[in-house]
Structure 1
Amino acid sequence: MNVTRIGRAAVVAAAAAILLSSCAANEGGGAAPEESASTLTGTLNGAGASSMGSAQEAWIASFQTANPDVTVNYEPSGSGAGREAFIGGGVAFAGSDSLLSDDELAGEFARCAPGTSAIDLPVYISPIAVIFNVEGVDELKLDAATLANIFSGQITTWNDPAIAALNEGVTLPAANITAVHRSDDSGTTKNFADYLNKVAPEAWAEEASDTFPFASGEGAQGTSGVVEAVTNGVNTIGYADASRAGDLGVAQIKVGDEFVAYSAEAAAAVVDASPLVEGREANDIAIKIDRTTTEPGVYPLVLVSYAIACQEYADAADAELVKAYLSSIASDEGQALAAEQAGSAPISSELSLKVLDAIESIK
């Protein structure tokens, strides 16, 4: 495979970052049992979505305890960087909040067997929280159009009439808004933008993309960068995986005629109600989120993170480790662990069976 200069740089950067993070990841695994039934050995490297970083830490610790002769490393470099590293062969699997695009699927994957492609496997569901740090404001309500105008730079002050109309009785400061977005290519950005485009197209006409489309606001690297910028800034707002919201304020968003707070259950509900993307291979489980639903109890500002793997690997050792690791994270136990440690929503039993069958098909 011919890798571009940028692609080579991404692969090298991912590999270097993985080496640096290896010790920290392994230390999280705890003491291995004196005897283990596992015969697995080797090192498995992955990279990608920072949204699932906390879940990956928990999954890795559990997997390495059960398989003490295996080292798993995951670098939360962002969805775009993870997919690029996987395509170039720098890692054996990627995590991504965005599906592989048609163009990516039409290309070559360095670690996949010649003539074969990659598959998307949904393993992590989480609400995207609209986080804020506004002086004197503890609760905030926003609809999609107002949110779109804030992040596109059309609404620039907190006491703007559009925000005030949604927050009767709240004293909003006459202060400038600092809207923080991801500076790196991010699946979280793509999901956030897709929600705004589908629900408020008149305010957000841009098609969803991993790249934030406006020059307004403040950019920050990764989920942790956005959370840090909102936390340490003044009169700030941003978007991030809900597991990282911490003590920040989190806005309620308008769904139909009601304002809804995020929850894992509400995020899972909208995923289960959404169809699969048409035209994909049988084992490529890509979900088309229904952003415009107004059903009670759903939260449509949600991301589905995928494990991206080869349908068939050129190296059988890669296939063995990827199958074992991905099977563990897609299992009921793995999903429960992520829910406990990262606050994610477990994929439903029906979806889990589809994902596990697809993982079993990996060669």
Structure 2
Amino acid sequence: MTSTKRTRRPIVTLLGAVVGLTLILTGSLSASAASYTRISGQGSSWAGNAVAEWVSQVRTQGVTVDYTAAGSSSGRANFANQTNADFAVSEIPYTGDTADPQDSNKPSFGYGMLPVVAGGTSFMYNLQVGGQRFTDLKLSPGSVAGIFSGAITRWNAPEIVADNPDVALPDQRITVVVRSDGSGATAQFKLWMLRQFPAQYAALAAATGMDAAHASSYFPTGSLSNFVAQNQSQGVTQYTSDTPGTINYDEYSYAQQVGFPVAQLKNAAGFYTVPDQYAVAVALTQAQINQEAGPNYLSQDLSNVYQYGDPRSYPLSAYSYMLVPTELRGGFTADKGATLAYFNQYALCEGQRTMGALGYSPLPMNLILAAMEQVAKIPGIDEATLATITATRDGVLHGGANPCNSPTFQPGDDVSHNVLIDTAPFPAGCDAACQAPWRLAGSGVGVGGPTFETDATAVAGGGSGAPAATDNAAAAGGPANAGTTAAKSCDADTGVCASDDATLAGANVKAIPTVIGGQQGWAGPQTLMTLVGLLLVTLLLAPPLVGRILSRSSRPSRSSSGAKQ
């Protein structure tokens, strides 16, 4: 009996040690996450699926973030008014040349604006041809402008037939589904129409009573009898999926979510593409992100994106932004700032890995760095988050490894490498001669890319600093300054304009080329899983092995047994 107790005692001790070590390891890795204060945000439903994914991911780490995808206009207003919104998400800024002129609410406190995800505005439709759901609809930009201005009202209109030869399109009314609430998706789509198809936009303004000179976040239907307005992205998606003959506009992820097709949009090269992660990444090499102090700081100008000649490009690609406080105010405390900074850092790194499969496009490396500069200004940011940002910046710019697990980061790469563009598939019909000009490594990427300085003092939106950047306008293609609508000659089909003499008042836009890299990373969760796995194996195998050893050591030998006899 005494021998059995002595055998069990070390086994129990070993079990206790293994369990204790497991709890210590798991507790140490999750303790900081569990201590984060709950925060809430509101805004864009265009980016809503992306934000919901990040919220779900950080919840597994004990971090609680509430997000309401009520639309960009609502989110911007509530953030400015400090109403249940520690942060907001929007595709358009408060100030500058692409701001909504109907916005009367602007923050009275310091705030920063940082890109968090890229994507494409798509045109989900519900159409039957020959009694079957039609999934191969092609539309030129001119046809899209005609449909959404009310000029094209039948599915078998000559313009749509020209895009879809040999398809027996039905003689059926087109029901156009638009947003009833203020949205960044509406603002970006209307800005595209205003700049590329000014005549159609003027006709839309005349029919709906809206401002013909600006693009707002609202889409009034006015006298357009075939237009239907629905609330938020989920509303327009649900109505379209339930109603034959309909078409809408929204981020690609919503159509993917319900399994409905989107129109293939004709680009400036004459090819039809959809906004997958590759087509968006290619297009946004031409996005110009303002890096100068002033009302346009970090806002996007997409004029060159619309007309980009790469056969793989999707013309209606854009970024979505998070608006964050850069000073304590009202109910926004330092504890909330620590949570918000961590959430942003996670979204910019690990959170980008699932964006492609979700219907978005992961951010390029240089924009992640620019965004991290803004995250570092959030009051209350903790040492761990700041250390990750610093290590990422130093690693990327100086060639070392970095702890950011974003798919756009690869240790040792520099900002001129672009994996998504290198591997982006070409559309059918683009032969070797068509592909050749675009197959250069890092096509459309400036040599060396932008630089980021920590001592820059540019100011935007009430006190947010900015990193400095080199002038890469020529690298991105097109002029450094992009204009609002003016008298110019535009192709009625593609919207490509022969000249653009107008310039943005007071804007000095500098292009930041998109830079995509690939990485297979190893982060904290993988390490934790490995350690726990090893401990479980030890827990299962060690007790019987130890017991067997102890049993043998306590068993008398045969010779000694014989002597006792």
TM-score, normalised relative to structure 1: 0.82
Partner of 2:348: 330
C-alpha distance in structure 1 between counterparts of 2:282 and 2:195, whole Å? 18
1:178 equivalent to 2:193? Answer no
Q: Which amino acid aligns with 1:305?
A: S
C-alpha distance in structure 2 between counterparts of 1:61 and 1:165, whole Å? 44
Q: Residues 208 and 106 from structure 1, CA distance in 2 versus in 1: closer, same or farther, beyond 3 angstroms?
A: closer
1:232 equivalent to 2:232? Answer no
1:266 equivalent to 2:279? Answer yes
Deviation at 1:62, TM superposition (A): 2.0
C-alpha distance in structure 1 between counterparts of 2:267 and 2:116, whole Å? 25
Partner of 1:55: 50
1:339 alignment partner, one of 350, 356, 359: 356
Provide the secondary structure at the position in 1 that maps to 2:142.
helix
Partner of 2:552: none
Provide the secondary structure at the position in 2 that maps to 1:245.
helix
Q: Residues 92 and 190 from structure 1, CA distance in 2 versus in 1: closer, same or farther, beyond 3 angstroms?
A: same
C-alpha distance in structure 2 between counterparts of 1:283 and 1:160, whole Å? 40
- Where in structure 2 are the equivalents of 1:6-45 lying within 5 Å? 36-38=30-32, 40-45=35-40
C-alpha distance in structure 2 between counterparts of 1:335 and 1:199, whole Å? 31
C-alpha distance in structure 1 between counterparts of 2:274 and 2:164, whole Å? 15
Q: Which amino acid aligns with 2:355?
A: A
Deviation at 1:244, TM superposition (A): 1.0
1:210 equivalent to 2:217? Answer yes
Checking the alignment, whether the CA contact within 8 Å between 1:47 and 1:95 is kept in structure 2 is yes
1:71 equivalent to 2:68? Answer no
Equivalent residues, number: 322
Query: More deviation in 78-87 or 53-62?
Result: 53-62
- Where in structure 2 are the equivalents of 1:97-176 lying within 5 Å? 97-102=91-96, 109=107, 112=109, 117-136=110-129, 137-176=134-173
Provide the secondary structure at the position in 2 that maps to 1:42.
coil
C-alpha distance in structure 2 between counterparts of 1:189 and 1:261, whole Å? 19
Checking the alignment, whether the CA contact within 8 Å between 1:59 and 1:334 is kept in structure 2 is yes
Q: Residues 282 and 151 from structure 1, CA distance in 2 versus in 1: closer, same or farther, beyond 3 angstroms?
A: closer
Partner of 1:313: 328
Deviation at 1:239, TM superposition (A): 1.0
Checking the alignment, whether the CA contact within 8 Å between 1:44 and 1:71 is kept in structure 2 is yes
Partner of 2:369: 353
- Residue by residue over 1:233-266, the C-alpha shift from the partner in whole angstroms, topping out at 9 and shown as x without a partner, is 1211111110111322211111122222222111
C-alpha distance in structure 2 between counterparts of 1:141 and 1:351, whole Å? 32
Q: Which amino acid aligns with 2:324?
A: A
Deviation at 1:53, TM superposition (A): 2.0
Partner of 1:242: 252
Checking the alignment, whether the CA contact within 8 Å between 1:133 and 1:234 is kept in structure 2 is yes
C-alpha distance in structure 2 between counterparts of 1:118 and 1:346, whole Å? 24
- Residue by residue over 1:165-195, the C-alpha shift from the partner in whole angstroms, topping out at 9 and shown as x without a partner, is 2211111111111010111101011111122
Q: Which amino acid aligns with 1:81?
A: S
Q: Percent identity?
A: 28
Partner of 1:276: 289
Structure with higher RCO (Cα < 8 A, 6+ apart):
1
Partner of 1:9: none
How much is the aligned-residue C-alpha RMSD, in angstroms? Answer: 2.3
Partner of 2:81: 88
Deviation at 1:124, TM superposition (A): 1.2
Deviation at 1:213, TM superposition (A): 4.4
- Residue by residue over 1:190-230, the C-alpha shift from the partner in whole angstroms, topping out at 9 and shown as x without a partner, is 11112222222222244322111442200011111111111
What residue ranges of structure 1 are gaps of 5+ in the alignment? 1-32
Deviation at 1:52, TM superposition (A): 2.0
- Residue by residue over 1:82-132, the C-alpha shift from the partner in whole angstroms, topping out at 9 and shown as x without a partner, is 11110010211001122223489997536x4xxxx2221110111111111
Checking the alignment, whether the CA contact within 8 Å between 2:58 and 2:64 is kept in structure 1 is no
Deviation at 1:48, TM superposition (A): 0.6
C-alpha distance in structure 2 between counterparts of 1:322 and 1:79, whole Å? 19
1:297 alignment partner, one of 288, 293, 312: 312
Q: Residues 131 and 243 from structure 1, CA distance in 2 versus in 1: closer, same or farther, beyond 3 angstroms?
A: same
Q: Residues 349 and 73 from structure 1, CA distance in 2 versus in 1: closer, same or farther, beyond 3 angstroms?
A: same
Query: More deviation in 316-325 or 276-285?
Result: 276-285
What residue ranges of structure 2 are gaps of 5+ in the alignment? 1-25, 203-211, 380-565
Query: More deviation in 130-139 or 202-211?
Result: 202-211
Provide the secondary structure at the position in 2 that maps to 1:175.
coil
Checking the alignment, whether the CA contact within 8 Å between 1:191 and 1:302 is kept in structure 2 is no
Q: Residues 106 and 84 from structure 1, CA distance in 2 versus in 1: closer, same or farther, beyond 3 angstroms?
A: closer
Higher strand share: 1
C-alpha distance in structure 1 between counterparts of 2:298 and 2:352, whole Å? 17
C-alpha distance in structure 2 between counterparts of 1:172 and 1:249, whole Å? 16
TM-score, normalised relative to structure 2: 0.54
C-alpha distance in structure 2 between counterparts of 1:131 and 1:108, whole Å? 33
Q: Residues 259 and 214 from structure 1, CA distance in 2 versus in 1: closer, same or farther, beyond 3 angstroms?
A: same
C-alpha distance in structure 1 between counterparts of 2:296 and 2:353, whole Å? 23
Checking the alignment, whether the CA contact within 8 Å between 1:274 and 1:287 is kept in structure 2 is yes
Partner of 2:232: 222
C-alpha distance in structure 2 between counterparts of 1:171 and 1:165, whole Å? 12
C-alpha distance in structure 2 between counterparts of 1:93 and 1:177, whole Å? 38
| Structure having the higher Rg | 2
C-alpha distance in structure 2 between counterparts of 1:88 and 1:338, whole Å? 31
